[in-house]
Structure 1
């Protein structure tokens, strides 16, 4: 794998201070990845919808250090303060520090700056809406804004590719939050340009039925997950069904690629729901085993199945690594499905809370 292309070139420019703000979205995988090897390499390819309303806004203020304080030696810790939703968050710093350690070869210029990071989510943290995806991709875009200031010869295509590459080193799914509306991450023989190192926009013409596709996230449980995604991924190393699962996922990428192009919604519903249940089946059959779904998750799934049958609807669900349910449906069904959600599904959410979202196009500089 060619990672040398992402090593920063030396720059003659010197910038004393700068500030950048990016809004980057979460994403919801349609074909899931569950299981990885170091450094953050997926065991199978995945495809996701890029969301719009579920996003992180991050500002990084860069202040260049004095010569005496400047640090660039390998292994030194980067200097940063972190504030999440207005409060200093020391407990979040180890993960971000590890991220900076992983990217030091590719962004050595970062070690010459003191950084102050301010971040906020439009959705509850650690509740199965891929907050690490939007959070790490936002940091990556801020770093690439600084690199562009230092080297204005960088193309936008390269900036997006490297941002995805960097974000992946912090959170695998973050590689899919730079662009949209559909992103593929993981090398796949039938997806042109796909790579284990970064996400790429789905390279083929998407059927119009998937334009403005809707995703209503039902917040069944806003609390911290009992088992982190990192722990769950690691349990795939000795999982009895791991290799079969990786093969199945890659076959489903092939199937979904065709569905996204031909617009077969019945096939879309079947594949997406199967992928969601298979993800959680991997959790149920790992050792130690665990369950992230809640009783209300299952209530919602059964209600969706009933509604689809009674109304000949193309509504379906998917799940991330958590209890919350993503309700997916084409825009033409929006009025009826939203009424169904309000009347019959909202009661299964904490405080009747749900988020109406739609697919979108990725990171936005503010």
Structure 2
């Protein structure tokens, strides 16, 4: 079994000449949700996500050796402009990963990041952002230790990304990713995400996710606080057990292509996530009235047309509309004519399943 110690850097070389790398990493949407975590970003239950293709963060990291190695030295730019309020998050991340990446204080980093989706659109960018940063750190480590295997490169990148933002570990590699120990998923781990290890039914090829931007404002309750509220939640134990059961069911659905069962499970998981928020103490609601309007419209449309379309939600008000590529024209027409009116400025993003991080 892989432990934390597996990811400690033990190579002799701790510095190298100046260099630069650039990676893109996508956002992802969980179908079986992770809600609640233990110490050190360990999930309280396993999760499974679709990796997206168009919604991604592109991050360049330029590094140069420094002799002043008492602190972490870096500048952070967002869309080529200094963004000081993000620097504490980077500093916290570097502290968390320093024992695994002891070379970090030997360099000055210039980190320049941008998103392909609208800034402050209500799409969580922590997963794509921390994943892209972790990929760049591993590019530096690969330069320090050229004999590193590709498998180790991606496992450690996912491991590091998790320490920045839990769900970021699902944005590294693979179109469908499992994070968290699950008995019937070989090699699954609480420490990093793994690609879904079974052949998927062709109906899930290029599966579509159109993201309806219901609320582009900042969430009233951060995900970190929401996760913490699971510690004393009256239904926590049942929820964690349910996630294991649902992941086994979803594994079978992805292999057999049963869209009726897929729709029922995915929508139930989304509503369960928000039910946990409604029943925590303090309780909170992240859905908006238009979120519910959209859900009801999807249910009516599905019943009237037998189109295999469903929704899922993250910890916010926006709605992810999921459907097979074969139904794209029909569903996009439905979204444009009936659902866009419930979005801020009628905005939505058309996306589909992608393959993870890419070096640019």
TM norm structure 2: 0.98
Per-residue displacement from partner, 1:226-246 (whole Å, max 9, x unpaired)? 111001000101111111100
8 A contact 1:127–1:322 mirrored in 2: no
Distance 1:326 1:201 in 2: 22
User: Which residue number corresponds to residue 362 of structure 1?
Assistant: 356
- Check if 1:290 corresponds to 2:288: no
User: Which residue number corresponds to residue 274 of structure 2?
Assistant: 280
8 A contact 2:14–2:103 mirrored in 1: no
User: Which residue number corresponds to residue 120 of structure 1?
Assistant: 114
User: Which residue number corresponds to residue 29 of structure 2?
Assistant: 28
User: Which residue number corresponds to residue 63 of structure 1?
Assistant: 64
SS at 1:108 equivalent: coil
SS at 1:39 equivalent: helix
Per-residue displacement from partner, 1:124-183 (whole Å, max 9, x unpaired)? 455553310000000000000000011111111110000000000011100000012100
8 A contact 1:126–1:225 mirrored in 2: no
List runs of 5+ in structure 2 lacking aligned partners: none
Aligned length: 359
Candidates 257, 263, 288, aligned match of 1:263: 257
SS at 1:195 equivalent: coil
User: Which residue number corresponds to residue 149 of structure 2?
Assistant: 155
8 A contact 1:140–1:167 mirrored in 2: yes
**Aligned 1:1-366 pairs, distance under 5 A:** 2-12=3-13, 14-66=15-67, 69-71=68-70, 77-125=71-119, 127-366=121-360
Q: Runs of 4+ in structure 1 displaced over 6 angstroms?
A: none
TM norm structure 1: 0.96
State the Cα distance separating 1:14 from its structure 2 match.
Answer: 4.1
State the Cα distance separating 1:9 from its structure 2 match.
Answer: 2.1
Q: CA RMSD of the aligned region, Å?
A: 1.1
The 10-residue stretch of structure 1 (265-274 or 129-138) with the greater mean CA deviation from structure 2: 129-138
User: Which residue number corresponds to residue 74 of structure 1?
Assistant: none
8 A contact 1:304–1:315 mirrored in 2: yes
Distance 1:330 1:266 in 2: 12
